[in-house]
Amino acid sequence: MPAPSKDVYIVGSGIAGLYVALRAHEEGLHPIIFTKSSLAESNTRYAQGGIAAAVGEGDSPHAHYVDTLKAGAGLVYPPAARALTEEAPRRIADLVRYGVPFDTVEGRLSLGREAAHSRGRILHAGGDATGLHIEETLQRRVRDEGLEVREHSLLHDLASDHRGSVSMALRTRRGLEELQSPTVVLATGGAGHLYFQSSNPPIATGEGVAVAARAGALVQDMEFVQFHPTAFCREGAPHFLITEAVRGEGAHLLNAQGERFMPRYHRQAELAPRDVVSRAIAFELRKSHSSCVFLDARHIPRERLLLRFPTVGHFLHTQGLDLSRELIPVSPVAHYMVGGVASNLWGQTTVRSLYTCGEVASTGLHGANRLASNSLMEGLVFGERIVRAVLSHRRWEGPPRPGRTLTLRLPRSRNGPPPPENNLSRRAISSLLWTHVGILRERTGLADAVRRLEEGWAVARNAAGPQGIAPPTSDLLLTALFIARGALAREESRGGHFRQDFPRPRAAWRMHLGIRIRVA
């Protein structure tokens, strides 16, 4: 009888995918990394804020846990928060072992504070270049260990068979390639670039969610999209993220009239949760008919700013601005996908042998609004748990059942020619989401977005080629539809989801919302 396969197929090359690959290799498994672009490109490398762990004096996993629950607006799954906060210090030790150069002061880890954290527990590397340093360190380790990496391999399809194996189809430069493995780990990242204004790189378009859903996976909490409050705002310039750690150092937000406005919206002012700050800015922009507000760090010592934020400082210099001497124009952008493919604490989905971790996954850790700097740690903690589950042949249990599940019955085709406006391009999708499924939402706009995305998906599916392969936009449309449909269904405001027609939380909606698809 042949020995069981040790192959582990990992789709994605951000912190979650790279860490799973390294740990799987250390435990004697044979990981293969498949990545949509090059190994060097992922959301991780753009993460400025840092990575959260209770490793400082006077801090504790319990305090980190309490902050995570508070930020999640009543929807955090407590066991997931416990797992992350208790295991985070050990995962930091792993990164140190791999060689991540965390910042120190007199030989001790330098710990910053960010929005909604009760104390300083954010580790940085290279000041505001944390994600870049982690990504490059893990990539270098992957290369040094000789792990197999297949670049320019876009996930096209997944299916699980009765034996518990997952078949996987990938679009490569050679055409469609089909593979099979007893273990597939989905670590494809988020969907922020589906929005017209986003902090994410172009690869972050959420296909992993759509492909998993087409394979039968449950997705959940897709309506909760986190908008980062402070991206650089100037016509023709990139939406460069101005890390909220700048506000953690004491910077203020000013409106078009030069007034500090955040104390009117929340007792923590600029250190309020991200959803609160983003909404406050949106309201101020609406009142003043302006395109941006301003970040004011002029009262903070120049030497401190240059030491803490070299990446931000360099970018602003290229734009002719000085963080320590001038007001910086900023506005919110789409930043993080809180929901995703539903999984349990061991990364197990509703599709047998398909695991998931990182931003594409939804364990309930973030609730309705992610606590700052928990995302990088999430990929490590649940990536480690996947490796342990695979090694122990843990019984397949799947994720907890959400409080409510929608079934989307999608039309495969329509009678007669579709309206021209329903042939949605990628740019049209991003504009539709930004306009109707952005920071401020209401029923009419959401219903229109759902209708157009459903029609657009049918058009894209009908455009399938001779092998039945639909154009790439079909999966973008499906992920966008999950976001819009969840937002239309949730008739309340909570965390990153704000309905102007239902502006307060409702007890009846204190639950997770799942979505499945059925193609008619």
Q: What is the pLDDT of residue 40?
A: 73
Of the residues 362, 391, 420, the one at which a domain ends: 391
Q: What is the pLDDT of residue 113?
A: 83
The pTM of this model reads: 0.93
Q: What is the CATH number of the domain that holds 415?
A: 1.20.58.100
Question: Do residues 454 and 500 both lie within one domain?
Answer: yes
Beta bridge mates, 348: 355
- 397 is a domain residue: no
Q: Nearest to residue 510, comparing CAs of 65, 83, 63, 77? A: 77
Question: Do residues 82 and 213 both lie within one domain?
Answer: yes
What spatial distance separates the first Cα and last Cα of the chain, rounded to whole Å?
43
- 399 is a domain residue: no
What percent helix, strand, coil does the chain show, rounded to 5?
A: 35, 20, 45
Domain count, the chain: 3
Question: Do residues 412 and 264 both lie within one domain?
Answer: no
Q: Nearest to residue 109, comparing CAs of 97, 121, 99? A: 121
Spot the catalytic one: 23, 45, 141, 274.
274
Structural domain span for residue 357: 7-224+336-391
510 noted as active-site residue: no
Q: Nearest to residue 470, comparing CAs of 187, 213, 211, 219? A: 211
Residue 407 burial (10 A CB sphere; 0-12, 13-18, 19+)? exposed
Q: What is the DSSP letter of 404?
A: E
Helices 78-98, 130-144: crossing angle, 10 deg rounding: 60
Question: Do residues 284 and 146 both lie within one domain?
Answer: no
H/E segment holding residue 445: helix 443-462
Instruction: Give every residue of the chain whose pLDDT is below 70, as ranges.
Output: 1-5, 41-49, 411-423, 464-471, 520
Q: What is the CATH number of the domain that holds 271?
A: 3.90.700.10
Q: What is the pLDDT of residue 2?
A: 40
**Using one digit for the tens of pLDDT, what is the confidence trace for 332-366?**
999 999 999 999 999 999 999 999 999 999 999 99
Q: How far does CA 462 lie from the centroid of its chain?
A: 30
Q: What is the DSSP string of 341-357?
A: EE--TTSB-SSTTEEE-
